[in-house]
Amino acid sequence: MITTNIDLAKQVLINNGIIAIPTETVYGLAGNTFSEIAVNKIFALKKRPHYNPLIVHIKSAAWLNELACDIPDAAMLLANRFWPGPLTLLLNKKPNIPDLVTAGKPTVAVRVPNHSLTLILLEQLDFPLSAPSANPFGSISPTSAAHVYNYFKDNLEVILDGGECNNGVESTIIGFENNQPIVYRLGAISLEDIEALIGKVNFHTKNDINPAAPGMLSRHYSPNTTTYLTDDLVEMITLHPNKKIGLLLFKELVVNNSVLQQEILSKNGDLSEAARNLYAALHRLDKLNLDIIIAERLPDNGLGKTINDRLKRAVEK
């Protein structure tokens, strides 16, 4: 049921149930971090492999000390600057976090989401909420309550409706090795903004066999429709004659008769707006029974880097 009833949401969570929550990035599938029953329900409903750990959502940075230890100074700088907000920190975990949540890893992923409804809910709970994005494993993340409902129908007693997600792409994930910050996943906070605060950060290298952050799995965030990513739209369209084509474009329509549908991410070329619209546009295109979706590569700076990262994974077979 899609609802704004926080009391109902709270009741389900207290009884080891799971619900969908709005955040500023994407909707999450949430349960009590300390309840193995609830956390197992999340993995089962999402069909998520157990090697893929969950992000723990807390109401404020004051909760950090209950969950994590050996917190680097740079982590505190980031938390103070970006929380509540789309930043996830990977920190050494305390023993009270169930192994199920962290997939047996020594680290826990933590963030304070920036959505008023979810913050009010967290405020009323005496436990944090573990929540992956509220989509079946591998598919496009949901940025509205309706997206969540389309995926899970009435298997979710409560989908807390907080409107459309403001940022529209997942949180940026930063971990630490020998106190050096490492980016595990590009996200709604740009690399430039992170580096302006804590200096140069390195990338975690991708590894599909033993993914340290399986958001980095090559195929992820994927529509059902075959999708291509290109710098040269006209060439890509020409390569696919007699196909039902949909385009995912940055700011300008393309004049071409063989194209059935076009989605513009931001008329003004604003990368934040493009990120906010990305998944909804992909959801719409994916519903049209097209033969292919062709996505235009965005400028590779700021949130353009994050959007290109998601599009690259969306096109993987």
Contacting residues toward ligand TXA, per CB under 6 A: 23, 25-26, 28, 52-55, 86, 88, 90, 102, 105, 107-109, 113, 131-133, 170-171, 173, 184, 212-215
Q: How far apart are CB 70 and ligand TXA at their closest, in Å? A: 14
Residue 67 binds which of Mg ion, ligand TXA, none (CB < 5-8 A, kind-dependent): none
From the CB of 52, what's the least distance to Mg ion, in Å? 9
For the bound state, the minimum distance from the C-beta of residue 185 to ligand TXA, rounded and expressed in Å, comes to 6
Residue 25 interacts with, from ligand TXA, Mg ion, none (CB under 5-8 Å by kind):
ligand TXA
Residue 290 or 303: which CB sits closer to Mg ion? 303
Instruction: Count residues binding Mg ion (CB under 5 A).
Output: 1
List the one residue from 23, 32, 88, 133 that touches Mg ion (CB under 5 A).
Answer: 133
CA 59 to chain centre: 18
Shortest separation between residue 21's beta carbon and ligand TXA, angstroms? 7
Nearest residue to ligand TXA on Cβ basis: 215
**Residue 230 token pair:** 């290109």
Side-chain half-sphere exposure of 316, counting CA atoms within 13 A: 17
DSSP string, 153-215: GGG-S-EE---S-SS-SPPEEEEEETTEEEEEE--SS-HHHHHHHH---EEPPP-SSS-SSGG
Stretch that binds Mg ion, among 102-110, 133-141, 176-184, 298-306 (CB under 5 A): 133-141
**How far apart are CB 315 and ligand TXA at their closest, in Å?**
18
* CB of residue 10 to ligand TXA, shortest distance in Å: 18
Residue placing its CB nearer to Mg ion in the complex, 32 or 133? 133
* DSSP state for residue 92 in the 8-state scheme: E
55 binds, among Mg ion, ligand TXA, none (CB under 5 to 8 A by kind): ligand TXA
Beta-bridge partners for 87: 172
Cα-to-chain-centroid distance, residue 266:
20
171 binds, among ligand TXA, Mg ion, none (CB under 5 to 8 A by kind): ligand TXA
Contact 175, 90 (CB under 8 A): yes
SS3 of 88, please? Answer: strand
Whole-number Å distance between alpha carbons of 7 and 21: 13
Task: Please give the distance of CA 247 from its chain centroid, rounded to a whole number.
Answer: 23
* 308-to-81, 193, 264 alpha-carbon distances in Å: 25, 18, 15
Tokens of 115: 């959505």
Name which of ligand TXA, Mg ion, none residue 181 binds, using a CB cut-off of 5 to 8 Å depending on partner kind. none
> How far apart, in whole angstroms, are the C-alpha atoms of residue 173 and residue 179?
15
